[in-house]
Structure 1
Amino acid sequence: MQDNVQMTKKPRRYFTDEQKAEAVNIVKQSGKPVSQVAREMGLTESALRKWVKQSQINEHPRLEGELTSAEHQELVRLRRELKHVKQERDFLKKAAAFFARESADFTS
């Protein structure tokens, strides 16, 4: 027999960069474990661990394979720009093919 327990999903919370930095500073300055600070601040432990790790990467960007926040933002911007340029290129290819057909039809 199944219990009629409804699993309600908590709404996703969003935090500003300042809020994240404040939480990370509390972890660094207090010397308390991440799990304890997360509980005290009402955060998930995994989110706070991620913020602390990203802070460490930003402070010491030479860790192999890890991107700083600035590098990540630039990567996102460059990917968006590349997508736009590819769309423009594809449009120009189609336009060139269209006008080549029109020109061939006109000369015939």
Structure 2
Amino acid sequence: MSRVKYSDEFKAQVVREVVEKDRTIASVAASYDLVPQTVGNWVARYRKEHSSQEESEAVAESAQIARLRAENRELRQENEFLKKAAAFFAQEQR
């Protein structure tokens, strides 16, 4: 079985179909009469090369959200404790 060499422009066009037009790899592969594995490899390579900044921003944002949720949970617990302490000391003074 011989390997077919596709041009970079053709690969880019196929990848754009998947990435920009939100088509599935299988449907794009079928429309161009390609093996889905091949199209999947092209898309994976494209995403690996072009997603470093977007991915790092998403990871940083997720980390910040997790940190803020933990801080929020801790502050709620402290607030509940202070409410209970205030109620306890208010009863003692009576």
Q: Structure 1 vs Structure 2: percent identity of aligned residues?
A: 12
TM-score w.r.t. the length of structure 2 is: 0.54
1:78 to 51, 59, 64: 64
Aligned residues: 68
User: Which of the two has greater helix per residue?
Assistant: 2
Gaps of 5+ in 1: 1-28, 62-67
TM-score w.r.t. the length of structure 1 is: 0.48
Q: From the CA coordinates, give the structure whose radius of gyration is larger.
A: 2
Return structure 1 stretches of 4+ with deviation > 6 angstroms.
none
CA RMSD of aligned residues (A): 3.2
Q: Identify if the C-alpha distance between structure 1 residues 41 and 100 changes in structure 2 by more than 3 Å, giving closer, same or farther.
A: same
1:104 to 62, 86, 90: 90
The match for 1:52 is 46
How much has 1:57 moved relative to structure 2? Answer: 5.0
Instruction: Indicate the structure whose relative CO is greater, using CA pairs within 8 Å and at least 6 residues apart.
Output: 2
